[in-house]
A and B are shown apart, each in its own frame.
Chain A
Amino acid sequence: MRSQPEPGSDLAADIFTATPLEKWKAVKETVAKLVFLAMTLALIAPLLGILAILLVKAWPALSISFLLENPKEYMTAGGIWAPLVGTFFLVLGSLLVAAPVGVLAGVYLNEYARDNWLTRIINLAVVNLAGVPSIVHALFGVGAFVLAAHMGRSMMAACCTLAVMTLPVIITSTRESLASVPMSFREACWNLGATRWQTVRTIVLPNSISGILTGVILQVSRAAGETAPILFTGAVFFVPVADHGWASFFPYGPGDRCMALSMHLFTLVTQVRGVSEEIQYGTAVVLIALVLVVNSLSIGLRAFLRSRKRW
């Protein structure tokens, strides 16, 4: 240890120059920072590279007619309209079930549930539901909806399976949004004679709707991309689709099997011979684009609503 320099002496300047130890530490810090940066880039670079390759290879196939035409000639030509419509309806159907149940469950967990063993079990159930592998969701869908509920392999069964899959994340994100509303607002309302539900309805929900919507939209993109849960519960590779008229644009009813974009990509790549590379890459790019656009919507919504915070 250096001895204390006398105040006013020239030695006082020495406490500001770096010792060899401090210089070595600064080098270590820079090295560490670069290593961590490299690790981060090791993730980002493959992502961007892959997206670039996909886009380049898919370019020749991408066009409006690709999106609007139905697949032709045993899927080796034509477009992807029917799978797109199928995905749209699957997502819509699953959300119609999962969103209300999930949001209300989140309301229960944050606003009504007491700190007892039942609540602990519910929280555990939500965490575990979120971690169930997608293929086990498929097995559940087959056992419960296709067989036990006699829905058969249909869009309805697939929607229900997707709904159970997206439920836990909606519950969690709703609960987090509700928790971000300060407790002081609720206490103020209770003291004014409002009931719990009135407080939730008038103050808590309106001020957390942004977070809730963000969570729901994120699940939209997840439901659109999932393949395993719909593989055996309702999606098939090929459904005979009319060539003209209304039915060629909206080919499915709730009891029908349907095509889906994710399933279409899977089968196109692994089981169909003679498909041109452009169509395969094109399908992949459309699916990624769909998912990324929906996600960006959710992120943008979150940023926009965060800027409009009311307290």
Chain B
Amino acid sequence: MQSRSWKERTAGQAGRIAAAWSRFLPRAADFIEPGVEWTIRLCGWSAILFVCAIFFFVLREAVPMLFGGLDLGEFFGSPSWRPAPPEGLRPQYGILALLAGTLSVTGLAMLLAVPLGLGAAVYISEFCTGKVKETLKVLVEMLAAIPSVVWGFISYMVLGPIIMELTGAPVGVNLLNGGVVLALMSVPVIVSVGEDALKAVPDSYREAALSLGASRWEVVYRVLFPAAKNGLLAAVLLGVGRAIGETMAVLMATGHAVQIPHGLLDPICTLTATIAAELGETVSGGPHYRVLFVIGLVLFAVTFCVNLIADLVVKGIRSEKPT
């Protein structure tokens, strides 16, 4: 036994005193432990609390307009968004153009991001190893870490002039700019979730195919894609969810023109950008303010559904997985 330091001696002494006391007092652990466990339990339930709270508080601000004054037919069907018209005219709250803006920029972004993202996921997962793989994964993480306002800055200051030069467009902030930036922002999600999905396919599948003489490309195309299709689909859905919900980058990249786009070079406005751009200028409690909260509810509902579907798709893998 090593000789005992003063630390050990005092610890032993304190232990003897504690042991002596514990005969008289109930063990502190008897109180602390249930307390700790209840705190843990409450924290565990907090996620439900917060989701409900988000829904509740957004609804609370939206309700006066939602159930008293908002024509839902006009809301979803009309492309005229004129919340602050000049004197005498009735304000119009039609979000069709905004919906078109969101859908078009998300669609364009996914058109670019899904093939690139899945291709990169396949490359990182199947075609490279070791240091190269680690470096690429780190680079994708860095791409994911860039804040959206910086992407907006890049789209406004760098991509905008490039687009104006290449296409002769009058302004650089438009659907094309938004689509490219949103694609670059959604790709990391698709790559990382897609890579996880491919990693989850057991190696025995790959080995079996290779031993039958398949090339690596055939393994990917004929074995991995079908086996991982649920996870890859989930990756795409999560990318879509990210794109729909993106605010600052599209705000700075697409201009602020409330119109249904007819071409790639038209400036548009998305649901998210509208809220971000206009909430600061509304009268708190006024109709415009409340309609923006209604738009928030629409966004919440849409992303809730997309995430729910993605989650069910992922669960589909778990239950189908051969043990």
Which of A26, A47, A121, A138 is within 8 Å of B139, CB to CB? Answer: A47
Question: Which residues 240-295 of A sit at the B interface, judged by CB distance below 8 A?
Answer: 262, 265-266, 269-270, 277, 280-281, 284, 287-288, 291-292, 295
B182 on interface, CB distance cutoff 8 Å: no
Structural contact, A128 and B116, CB atoms closer than 8 A: no
B20-54 contacts to A (CB < 8 Å): 33, 36-37, 39-41, 43-48, 50-51, 53-54
In the complex the two chains form, what is the Cα distance from A108 to B36 in whole Å?
Answer: 11
Is the pair B147, A287 in contact by a Cβ cutoff of 8 Å? Answer: yes
| A304 to B290 alpha-carbon distance, docked (Å) | 50
List residues of chain B with CB within 8 A of the CB of A104. 39-40, 43-44
B231 vs chain A, min Cβ distance (A): 15
- The interface stretch among B4-12, B88-96, B216-224, B260-268 is B216-224
Question: What is the CB-to-nearest-CB distance from B95 to chain A, in angstroms, rounded to a whole number?
Answer: 14
Chain A residues with Cβ under 8 A from B248's Cβ? 134, 227-228, 266
Inter-chain contacts of A31 with B (CB < 8 A): 217
For B146, give its contact among A37, A107, A288 (CB under 8 Å). Answer: A288
Return the chain A residue nearest B123 by Cβ.
Answer: A36
Q: In which size bucket is the chain B interface?
A: 35 or more
A interface, size bucket: 35 or more
Q: Is A136 an interface residue (CB 8 A)?
A: yes
A29 close to B308 (CB less than 8 A): no
In the complex, the answer to whether B158 meets A53 with C-beta atoms within 8 Å is yes
Q: How distant is the Cα of A164 from the Cα of B46 in the complex, in angstroms?
A: 10
The docked-state distance in angstroms from the alpha carbon of A43 to that of B158 is 16
Interface residues of B (CB under 8 A from A): 33, 36-37, 39-41, 43-48, 50-51, 53-54, 57-58, 60-61, 115-116, 119-120, 122-124, 127, 136, 138-143, 145-150, 152-154, 156-158, 184, 187, 191, 213, 215-218, 220, 238, 241, 244-248, 252, 272, 275-276, 279-280, 292-293, 296, 299-300, 303-304, 306-308, 311
6 new A-B pairs (CB below 8 Å) besides A54-B158, A134-B148? Answer: A26-B215, A33-B216, A127-B311, A128-B308, A129-B51, A143-B61
Supply 9 A–B pairs (Cβ within 8 Å), ascending by A: A28-B217, A40-B136, A104-B43, A112-B44, A129-B50, A137-B54, A262-B147, A266-B149, A288-B150
